[in-house]
A and B are shown apart, each in its own frame.
Chain A
Amino acid sequence: QKEVEQDPGPLSVPEGAIVSLNCTYSNSAFQYFMWYRQYSRKGPELLMYTYSSGNKEDGRFTAQVDKSSKYISLFIRDSQPSDSATYLCAMGKGNTDKLIFGTGTRLQVFP
């Protein structure tokens, strides 16, 4: 069993929809939680960073961490075609040196 599980998708939604992306994990030692966005043939770019539990909002993006359920989510409001990318979750334990990544969820937002 992988430490971090992520549905690979693809997830296809119409423009303006609310998107929910999720990861589950098995190791309760994870304290750092990140979401990266990766466009085709590009490097991952940091989207959201959360330490410990709770919610964090940045514009149209909201990251949630539920440590009791070992579950993290990324919500995208008013999705745009430019949000079409692969979204990777990543987690770290005592620090952010050895991150464990999910396999990524491919999102397509159609006009």
Chain B
Amino acid sequence: DAGITQSPRHKVTETGTPVTLRCHQTENHRYMYWYRQDPGHGLRLIHYSYGVKDTDKGEVSDGYSVSRSKTEDFLLTLESATSSQTSVYFCAIRRSGSTTDTQYFGPGTRLTVL
């Protein structure tokens, strides 16, 4: 358990509506990530954060924005949801230890845009 929670876990929304997904971590990690997972594409990075108010784009950032006002929370916003954004969204943190330095994932949010 990487101490990550995501909310909501499931959401159905309509095209054109704004949607915000929340990722919350309890371990005070500096780096946080948002991915989407689609059949045939695997996990693709949307945005990531390397500190409070410090964010950068990933491979598939168009149509998404993020914010990080506190270490523990990383928000992903779809300003105007489209059907192509129907996906499963995963948040991850980067944990550095003596033998590993890699990413650990949350349980995911299943988003359907009608």
Chain B residue nearest to A45 in the complex (CB): B105
Residues in chain A within 8 A of chain B (CB atoms): 6, 8, 32, 34, 36, 41-46, 49, 88, 90, 92, 95-99, 101-104
Total contacts A to B, CB within 8 angstroms?
A: 57
CA distance in complex: A104, B42 (Å): 7
The interface residues of chain A lying within 8 Å CB-to-CB of B105 are: 36, 43-45
Complex Cα distance, B35 from A36, in Å, reads 15
Proximity bits, B23-59, A CB within 8 Å = 1, else 0: 0000000010000000011111100101000000010
**Complex CA–CA separation, A98 to B103 (angstroms):** 10
Interface: B90 (CB within 8 A): yes
Are A43 and B94 neighbours in the complex by a CB distance under 8 Å?
A: no
Compute how far the CA of A98 lies from the CA of B60 in the bound complex, rounded to whole angstroms.
12
Contact-residue bracket for chain B: 20 to 34
The DSSP consensus for interface residues of chain A is: loop
Contact B101 A103 (CB under 8 A): no
Partner of B42, one of A32, A95, A97, A102: A102
A-B contact pairs, 11 of them (CB 8 A): A8-B40, A32-B102, A41-B110, A43-B107, A49-B100, A49-B102, A88-B42, A90-B43, A90-B102, A97-B50, A103-B40
Instruction: Given A43-B90, A44-B90, verify A96-B41 contact (CB < 8 Å).
Output: no
**Are B107 and A99 touching (Cβ within 8 A)?**
no
Partner of B100, one of A46, A88, A98: A46
In whole angstroms, what is the CA distance A43 to B100 when docked?
A: 19
Determine the distance from Cα of A41 to Cα of B77 in the docked complex, in whole angstroms. Answer: 22
Extra 18 A-B pairs, beta carbons < 8 Å, given A90-B103, A103-B42: A6-B42, A41-B108, A43-B90, A43-B108, A44-B90, A45-B104, A45-B105, A46-B100, A49-B100, A90-B43, A90-B102, A96-B103, A97-B94, A99-B43, A99-B102, A101-B42, A102-B42, A103-B41
CB <8 Å contact, A95 and B101: yes
Closest A residue, CB atoms, query B110: A41
Q: Which B residues lie within 8 Å of A42 (CB)?
A: 107-108
